[in-house]
Amino acid sequence: MNTERLLLRRKLIDFLYATCPDLTEALKSTRHVYPGTQGPYHREDSVWSHTLLVLQSALEQEDYDTEHILCALVHDFAKPCTAVVRPAKQGPGKRYSFHEHGPKGTQAAVDFLTALRHSWPGLVSDEEIARIAACVSSHIAFYDLDNARDALRFCNGDTMYCASLLRLLYCDNQGSILDPETPTFHKNQRLLDTTWSLLATLPEQTQEAELTAGPGIHLVCGPNARARKLFCEQAAKDRTILLSPPADPAGHSRDECFFSTREGFPGRHQKLIRKKAGEGLFITGCLCSRHPRRSLANILHEMVPGQPITCTFVLSPSEKPWIPEVPEPSARDGLPHPVPRLTMPCMLHEPRLSGARIVLVCPDKS
């Protein structure tokens, strides 16, 4: 590793210590292996050790750029807040599980990276932050895929997104003191080999810039209403439907706009959808999880069959970030509670979508 990479590593770790001391301590104190047990996947003593090993692997790859190095650093930020004890998958004993640490670590990654860029202008672009966050959200689901075609469709045909996930998978394996004879390791290796071979036959392609142009229904989702509104104003102006969560029969509040049937969808919206879908219509709401998006897409397909349905997930820094706007060594902020779960749109698992992408919008910067 050359001097430039050594300096980059030092600066990144210094920044993490300075701006996120509580998170750093949580990563150090969160164990990967349940005491007294031996699992086939992780022998690193903590999430922090694993993170440093994954980061080291990325730094050692000469063809990895800053985006891939940053992805290695932030990919497991939510493990401390998702760690639970479960029965061992095989035999007696217990293990640690970090269920949904990808989707729950996405906002943390966005906040950290936007703060890092504020301190280090030019280090990483909006597009790169969006792609890193998408990798954080999706990496575990991606690792579970069986073949290269599914991998590319999982990434919505975006070869750069797919390549970033492959690079993270490689480093994640390298940073895990695992048993290389396990079926999971061989499965991951096949996915790496076959998907790289497929990408070698394709032109480099990012998420389609004109995805929201033209006829059809364009879903715009994300946790920040201001960011979604700004995106829609720039793209659609007066052709936007703002969804509000339907009433919960139990009286509970809902963040998600979940509609299970067409009958529950507001009549005024149905009329506008039929009228404007041919010109292009934006529908925006939280829709941060796959199930509400899939249900809504099914309803829309029933309303306007034949019209394409696309989805743009709008990421943005938290309005009350868990990292200070101007990082200072004295800052004492950790992960937010509750931690939002952000699941990226995926054409493989949301088959009604004809296109999907992830973007970063910073309302205060615009």
pTM for the whole structure: 0.90
CB atoms within 10 A of CB 21: 16
Burial class of 183 by CB neighbour count within 10 A (0 to 12, 13 to 18, 19+):
exposed
Average confidence (pLDDT) over 59-72: 96
Q: Read off the tokens for 121.
A: 């202008």
Length of the chain as a residue count: 366
CB atoms within 10 A of CB 313: 28
Q: Which residues does 292 contact at the CB level (< 8 Å), separation at least 6?
A: 256, 257, 258, 259, 286
Provide the CATH topology of domain 3-200: Hypothetical protein af1432 (1.10.3210)
Where does the pLDDT of residue 327 fall: very low under 50, low under 70, confident under 90, or very high at 90 and above?
Answer: very low
Where does the pLDDT of residue 334 fall: very low under 50, low under 70, confident under 90, or very high at 90 and above?
Answer: very low
Where does the pLDDT of residue 336 fall: very low under 50, low under 70, confident under 90, or very high at 90 and above?
Answer: very low
What percent of the chain has a predicted confidence (pLDDT) above 70?
Answer: 86
Q: Read off the tokens for 95.
A: 């293990």
Say which CATH class 217-365 falls into.
Answer: alpha beta
pLDDT digits (tens, 9 = 90+) for 159-199: 999 999 999 999 999 998 877 888 888 999 999 999 999 99
Q: What is the rounded CA–CA span in Å between residue 10 and residue 67?
A: 16
Report yes or no: 240 and 270 within 8 Å, Cβ to Cβ: no
- Are 3-200 and 217-365 equal in CATH topology? no
Largest CA distance in the chain: 64
Verify cis geometry, omega within 30 degrees of 0, for the bond prior to 336.
no
The alpha carbon torsion through 194, 200, 202, 206 (nearest 10 deg) reads 90
Residue 279: per-residue pLDDT? 85
pLDDT digits (tens, 9 = 90+) for 18-40: 999 989 999 999 988 888 777 66
Stretch among 235-239, 292-296, 343-347, 357-361 having the lowest mean pLDDT? 235-239
Residue 115: per-residue pLDDT? 92
Structural domain boundaries of the chain?
3-200, 217-365
Q: What is the rounded CA–CA span in Å between residue 36 and residue 229?
A: 51
Burial class of 166 by CB neighbour count within 10 A (0 to 12, 13 to 18, 19+):
buried
Residue 251: per-residue pLDDT? 44
Report yes or no: 24 and 17 within 8 Å, Cβ to Cβ: yes
How much is the mean pLDDT over the chain?
A: 86
Residue spans of alpha helices (H) in 84-224:
101-119, 126-143, 148-154, 159-174, 183-200
Average confidence (pLDDT) over 74-100: 87
The residue assigned the tokens 């980059």 is 8
> 58, 60, 3: which is closest to 11 by C-alpha?
3
* Amino acid making up residue 180: P
Instruction: Name the 3-class secondary structure at 315.
Output: strand
End-to-end CA distance of the chain: 38
Where does the pLDDT of residue 209 fall: very low under 50, low under 70, confident under 90, or very high at 90 and above?
Answer: low
In the DSSP assignment, the letter for residue 277 is T
Instruction: Name the 3-class secondary structure at 254.
Output: coil
Residue 210: per-residue pLDDT? 60
> 278, 280, 207: which is closest to 237 by C-alpha?
280
Report yes or no: 327 and 15 within 8 Å, Cβ to Cβ: yes
